[in-house]
Amino acid sequence: MLKRLLFFLVFGPLVLSCNKEINGNPLERVLASDSPLIKTVMDSLEQYEVQIRYTQIDRVNDSVLFTDYDFQVSKSNYFYPASTVKFPAAVATLEKLNEVDSLSMNTTFYVEGDSIETTFAKAVSEIFAVSDNAANNRLIEFLGQDELNKRIVAKTEGPIRIAHRLSTSNADDPTTKPLVIYLNDSTTATSTVSINTYPKPLKLNKIEKGTGFYADGSQLVGAFDFSLKNYYPIETQHNLLKRIIFPEVFPTNKRFNLNNAQHEFLKKAMHTLPKDLGYDKEEYYDSYVKFLVFGDSQEPILDHIKIYNKVGYAYGTLTDCAYIQDTKNNVDFMVTATILVNSDGIFNDNVYEYDEIGIPFLAQLGREIYKLELNRDR
């Protein structure tokens, strides 16, 4: 009874219409919602730099069919991807491990100069459960920026430029640190250092944002320049998600080289909730890194709904790339969406409308699409 009540509170009343046909782009219906969580953004759309790709999933016999719908999606319009770049780092790491006989997901290692011992599997789990920056950076040291980018471009056919680590000193150092790897209980080996290409400035629309920013404790006047930052557009994020959730749809040369155990582990990591890995459920509630559908609620996520996703938030930009599955109602779909919430136009001041506007918008967006999916003919 309690779960039914929580479902009603999160999703609201769901009226199933006899007329299930949707004319044109269904995102237009979703974004025309009367919900103030949607209208606040749509009434001042230009300032929020929203981009959305929504994929309907249909099945015909043994085939899976995708229908994509876009709203303002353009790889030429820059947004800061923040922690969403951890998804490709995890995928590329697993693929590389599968090509080295002496290594596996459970191999223990540490970065030279660091005191934290971990495993590749633990790092990947931490990336998805709580978006751990240090776990991501350890994988960057293992891969190197150039190899990471090359692996993702080869399979997704979309642009990506991972140029720096996250929330650490010397984040853009092109030289990786060696890993000390335990080959067994008594034998270690040191990985080879890689020297990567130093990034060239990106030439994209909206690469400079705002009217001021903080640097070294002082506020400076002028736009904040993102041209040397990471670049991971909606198109590439969505392409990667499709290839991980439904690899069978793609030709072999466009699938990532993951064995069955790696693939199942990755998918499980993507939907596992923090509490299931031992994190405190009060601090790391179910929707801690699940913005779509549940982001503005700290209530438990219902057991029959799984969200395979990766979020990012920094510099006022919120992004979620998600495959959402409701096994009870036989509903599944994909959404990748981003929004900028920085009303004062100042970057690095830590004054952003994440909780007031950004996360509520993404949560309601997910709920509106979910309701649309419940009504949709398949």
Cα 286 from chain centroid? 16
For residue 358, give the nearest of 3, 34, 48 by alpha carbon: 48
Measure CA of the first residue to CA of the last residue in the chain; give whole Å.
Answer: 29
Condensed to tens digits (0 to 9), the pLDDT of residues 1-57 reads 334 334 444 444 333 323 333 458 999 999 999 999 999 999 999 999 999 999 999
Give me the CATH number covering residue 227: 3.40.710.10
For residue 191, give the nearest of 207, 204, 178, 210 by alpha carbon: 178
Structural domains of the chain, count: 1
**Per-residue confidence (pLDDT) for residue 1, from 0 to 100:** 39
Domain that holds residue 347: 2-375
**Per-residue confidence (pLDDT) for residue 231, from 0 to 100:** 98
Distance in angstroms (rounded) separating the CA atoms of residues 77 and 336: 15
- DSSP single-letter state for residue 221: E
Condensed to tens digits (0 to 9), the pLDDT of residues 284-321 reads 999 999 999 999 999 999 999 999 999 999 999 999 99
Condensed to tens digits (0 to 9), the pLDDT of residues 307-357 reads 999 999 999 999 999 999 999 999 999 999 999 999 999 999 999 999 999
Distance in angstroms (rounded) separating the CA atoms of residues 226 and 314: 12
Cα distances (angstroms) measured from residue 153 to each of 73, 157, 255: 19, 5, 12
Mean pLDDT to the nearest integer, 186-192: 95
**Per-residue confidence (pLDDT) for residue 23, from 0 to 100:** 55
Q: pTM for this one?
A: 0.93
**Per-residue confidence (pLDDT) for residue 2, from 0 to 100:** 37
| Strands, sheet with 179-182, edge to edge from the N-terminal-most edge strand | 118-119, 108-111, 179-182, 188-190
Residue 248 has pLDDT above 80, yes or no: yes
For the CA atoms of 137, 212, 226, 287, the dihedral, rounded to the nearest 10 degrees, stands at 50
Mean pLDDT to the nearest integer, 109-129: 97
